[in-house]
Amino acid sequence: MLEIDGLTARYGRAQILNGVSLTLGDNEVVALLGRNGAGKSTTMKSVMGLVRQTGGSIRHDGQEIRGRASHTICRAGIGYVPEDRRIFGELTVEENLEVGRRPAREGAPQWTTEHLFQLFPNLAERRRNLGKQLSGGEQQMLTIARTLMGNPSLVLLDEPSEGIAPVIVEQMANVISELKREGLSVLISEQNLHFAREVSDRAYIIEKGTMRYEGKFSDLDANPEISTKYLAV
Ligand SMILES: Nc1ncnc2c1ncn2[C@@H]1O[C@H](COP(=O)(O)OP(=O)(O)OP(=O)(O)O)[C@@H](O)[C@H]1O
Tens digit of each residue's pLDDT (9 = 90 or more) over 33-49:
999 999 999 999 999 99
pLDDT tens per residue across span 66-82: 989 999 999 999 999 99
Q: Is the CB of 161 inside a 6 Å radius of any atom of ligand 1?
A: no
| pTM assigned to the model | 0.92
Q: What is the mean pLDDT of the chain?
A: 92
In the chain, domain spans: 25-50+78-231
Q: Is the pLDDT of residue 132 over 90?
A: yes
CA of 215 to the centre of ligand 1 (A): 24
What is the band of 95 on the pLDDT scale with cuts at 50, 70, 90? very high
Q: Is the pLDDT of residue 85 over 80?
A: no
Domain 25-50+78-231: what homologous superfamily?
P-loop containing nucleotide triphosphate hydrolases (3.40.50.300)
Q: Is the CB of 1 inside a 6 Å radius of any atom of ligand 1?
A: no
Q: Is the pLDDT of residue 126 over 90?
A: yes
Q: Is the pLDDT of residue 64 over 90?
A: yes
Q: Is the CB of 63 inside a 6 Å radius of any atom of ligand 1?
A: no
Across 20-31, average pLDDT = 96
What burial letters (b/e) apply to 56-79, b meaning 16+ CB within 10 Å? bebebeeeebbebeeeebbebbbb
Mutation to probe ligand 1, out of 7, 10, 16 (largest number of atoms < 8 A from CB): 16
Q: Is the CB of 40 inside a 6 Å radius of any atom of ligand 1?
A: yes
Across 118-132, average pLDDT = 94
Q: Give Cα separations from 119 to 81, 90, 103, 116, 124 (angstroms).
A: 17, 23, 20, 5, 9
